[in-house]
Amino acid sequence: MELNLLKIGFTLMTLFIVVIGGFINNFEKCLPTFIAQTFRYGKFAYKGEPSSLRFIILEVPKRWFKHFYIFASIWSTYALVLMTYVYIFGGDTPHYVNVCLDFLGTSHRRAGVSAVSAFIALILLTLQSWRRFYETFFVSVYSDSNINIAHYMVGYIHYFGAVAAILVEAPGLTPL
């Protein structure tokens, strides 16, 4: 049995956010401090006594959001160029791309959407990535606040996974 790592990953992230968020909203006073410190940031940041578990609370400057918008812009643009090559110019998907997509979404993938839908979805995600890139570099003024490294990593996982999910479902990029 093959596992669809993208579906499993997004499902686990969603469950974690819903469960931990629910606990924080309803039982924050009963939870260990490091949980609230890890989950909350910005104007909702934990304001109580800091946790003694500093090794768990790894933080990076909030302005580091720029990094995953750089990544998202490059990654989504690459995927859009690949999809354009396959759909518009009739090219073949490179072998290494098929291997990666088979790993993430199983080798028994079937096209779940039309080529037009996949193409539009990827165009919109690419535009969103470049818009956020522009905002973070030229519009937003970040304070000196920090975010937990988990939030930082989720940004990379989200943008990588969102683009990969479109590619995994796209006709012409699926083996079946």
Average pLDDT over residues 132-158: 87
Question: Can you give the pLDDT at residue 99?
Answer: 94
pLDDT > 70: percent of the chain: 89
Question: Can you give the pLDDT at residue 115?
Answer: 94
Average pLDDT over residues 117-134: 97
Measured distance CA(44)–CA(39) in Å, rounded: 9
Average pLDDT over residues 85-103: 94
Q: pLDDT of 16-32, one tens digit each?
A: 989 988 988 888 888 87
Looking at per-residue confidence, does 173 or 87 come out higher?
A: 87
The phi, psi pair for 150, rounded to 5°, reads: -65, -40
Ramachandran region of residue 66, left (φ > 0), alpha (ψ -120 to 50) or beta? alpha
Question: Can you give the pLDDT at residue 118?
Answer: 96
pTM (predicted TM-score): 0.85
Measured distance CA(128)–CA(75) in Å, rounded: 12
Average pLDDT over residues 86-115: 92
Of the ranges 43-47, 141-145, 168-172, which one carries the lowest mean pLDDT score? 43-47
Question: Can you give the pLDDT at residue 89?
Answer: 95
Q: pLDDT of 53-67, one tens digit each?
A: 555 567 888 888 899
Angle between helices 95-105 and 149-169 (to 10 degrees): 110
Measured distance CA(96)–CA(167) in Å, rounded: 13
